[in-house]
Structure 1
Amino acid sequence: MTDAPPKIRIRDLCKSFGSKQVLDGVTFDVAQGTSCVIIGGSGSGKSVLLRCILGLMTPDSGSIEIDGENILTAPASRRDRLRGEIGMLFQNAALFDSLPVWENVTFGLLARKRLSRRDARTQAGEILAQVGLDPSVGDLYPAELSGGMQKRVGLARAIAARPDMLFFDEPTTGLDPIMGAVIDGLIVNCVKTLGSTAIAITHDMASAQRIGDQAAMLYQGRLVWQGSANTLMDSGNPYVDQFTHGRREGPITMELRR
């Protein structure tokens, strides 16, 4: 038994935009070295939750702890240091079109002056190899890459600094099922190799089961279920069952946009 706090602890997190309550008392933990997948429909609050943890948005109330420290009340320098331990794979890879692949991969390391440009080029090749790409790909530009290759480069950039935490935003969006499975396999291998703690948001149930240890579902800003990712398809929860099986009938209703 251990009294160590979870790597990431979210408590009563709330965020609204005007009269729209996007996060409504979200509470969950992610243990060190495990992966948690957040599922839910469009507008359920998944992306806002991720942005709050990343510091791109400030929640209205609640707490976000990393290693037992509330990053919302920590000094700015400490917040930056804690968030610097996070690697991020964005939904559309979000590569810099004007930079070659090797500079994209080592962008964060160069920006923090942790590597010289010469060393960065060499290290980029080693990191690209970890995601199944030849080091020569480092000399190409993002526009010269397929969607699957761009995802791999985005993953290489996410792991370049060997972060304690990895976040994935819809990692298989836009990929065919085979390439999606390849990317999921790379994600699992990278997380295990680094010993990182991971959070992913996804609509892809096959992906969720491949990369997640735990899973949680957001609906209308609330967590309506938490459990093992391998029970997503037979959770016994009516919200999860309707979502994972794509049923029209159930407790989830489509809201009219105004």
Structure 2
Amino acid sequence: MTTPRIRIRGLKKSFGPKVVLDGIDLDVQAGTSMVIIGGSGSGKSVLLRCILGIILPDEGTIEIDGEDILRASPMRQEELRRKIGMLFQNAALFDSMTVFDNILFGLKAKSSLHPRRDRHKLKQEALRLLSQVGLDESVAALSPSELSGGMQKRVGLARAIAGQPDILFFDEPTTGLDPIMGAIIDGLIVDCVKKLGSTAIAITHDMASAQRIGNQAAMLYKGKLIWQGLAQDLLHSNNDIVDQFTHGRKEGPINVETHPTL
């Protein structure tokens, strides 16, 4: 079998007494779009942040192309993580920068182009990325605060794909968007992933988005991956927990704590 683009084994992370990740095993093959679903607080974002190095796990291994990034030197970790592009929840654009400078930031971090020597090439590439996500170059001079939520997501996507990363992460890509704009963003994500030939991991609780983006899927529940399969099977998984979650049923094995409104 070919080496997975991403291989995770025995990953654990706790915050005090709260166990968030409890022995995660996951393989993501090159070219796969993996969607990870789960309720709020299930550990989806913590899992991505462990892979990115933002959070240090308590135990386990995280391999990229067969190399454990947790045990690599700091310089090698940086090299491996340059393979990754990230679309953060709510886009996470730099408010003090224009749209153009936000995209340049992504290009400078991951591209081999030199900031001064290749300034013209960087500018042209930034404008090409804007066009790829459906935005006119007139948007480049605007600040993030002048953009709608959908436009901010597009700029965030343009920054994520800067430098043509081998791996793309999407953290709740449709949060805060209406259904039509959510479908548009999902379509752009799918197009960008296909054009780059990248491996993608998206985390979401939006079932429509999960099936549009992913070809593989998994569900996190109480710190464990309780189901893995085809994204097209999410709504008929034959797993009681997955079925309750994906269909939004009140009754079932998932007990949601509710509190009376004061």
Mark yes or no: TM-score above 0.5: yes
Aligned to 2:27: 29
Structure 1 counterpart of 2:169, one-letter code: F
Look up the match of 1:146.
148
1:160 aligned residue: 162
Equivalent residue for 2:139? 137
The offset of 1:58, in angstroms, is 0.7
CA offset at residue 220 of structure 1?
Answer: 0.7
SS in 2 for 1:10: strand
By how many angstroms is 1:15 displaced? 0.5
Single out whichever of 18-27 and 115-124 deviates more from structure 2. Answer: 115-124
User: Which one is further off, 119-128 or 195-204?
Assistant: 119-128
Aligned partner (choices 119, 122, 129) of residue 121 of structure 2? 119
Pick closer, same or farther for the CA change 1:21–1:256 going to 2, 3 Å.
Answer: farther
After superposition, where does 1:1-258 map in structure 2 within 5 Å?
3-111=1-109, 114-116=114-116, 117-255=119-257
Aligned-CA RMSD value = 1.4
Any idea what SS the aligned residue of 1:103 has? Answer: helix
- Write the deviation string for residues 10-34 of structure 1: whole angstroms up to 9, x where unpaired: 1110011111111001101101011
Structure 1 residue 256, shift from structure 2 partner? 7.5
CA distance in 1, matches of 2:36, 2:217: 6
Which whole-Å CA distance do the structure 2 matches of 1:115 and 1:157 have between them? 16
- Aligned-pair distance for 1:111? 4.8
Q: Could you give the per-residue CA deviations for residues 225-256 of structure 1, whole angstroms, max 9, x where no partner exists?
A: 00000011111111110001111111111257
Identity of aligned residues (%): 69
Are the equivalent residues in 1 in contact too, given 2:107–2:159 (CA < 8 A)?
no
Three-state SS of the structure 2 residue aligned to 1:243 is helix
- Residue 70 and residue 256 in structure 1: after superposition, are their counterparts in 2 closer, same or farther (change >3 A)? farther
- Structure 2: tracts of 5 or more residues without a match: none
CA contact (8 A) 1:26 1:223 kept: yes
Equivalent-residue separation in structure 2 for 1:149 and 1:76 (angstroms): 35
Equivalenced residues, count: 255
1:147 maps to amino acid: G
> In 2, distance between residues paired with 1:70 and 1:50?
15
Q: Distance in 2 between matches of 1:256 and 1:69?
A: 44
SS in 2 for 1:171: coil
- In the TM superposition, what is the alpha-carbon distance from 1:110 to its structure 2 partner? 2.9
Deviation at 1:139, TM superposition (A): 1.2
Question: Are the equivalent residues in 2 in contact too, given 1:125–1:136 (CA < 8 A)?
Answer: no
In the alignment, the residues of structure 2 paired with residue 47 and residue 111 of structure 1 have an alpha-carbon distance, to the nearest angstrom, of: 22
Alignment partners' CA distance in 1, 2:238 and 2:210: 17
Does the Cα contact within 8 Å between 1:109 and 1:115 map onto a contact in 2?
no
Deviates more, 1:158-167 or 1:136-145: 136-145
Hey, what's the Cα distance between the residues in 2 that align with 1:179 and 1:21?
35
Give the Cα separation in 2 of the matches to 1:110 and 1:200. Answer: 24
List alignment gaps of at least 5 residues for structure 1: none
Give yes or no for contact 2:103–2:158 (8 Å, CA) kept in 1: yes
How far did 1:123 drift?
Answer: 1.7
After the TM superposition, list the runs of 4 or more consecutive aligned residues in structure 1 that deviate by more than 2 angstroms. Answer: 108-122, 254-257
Contact 2:21–2:43 (Cα < 8 Å) also in 1: yes
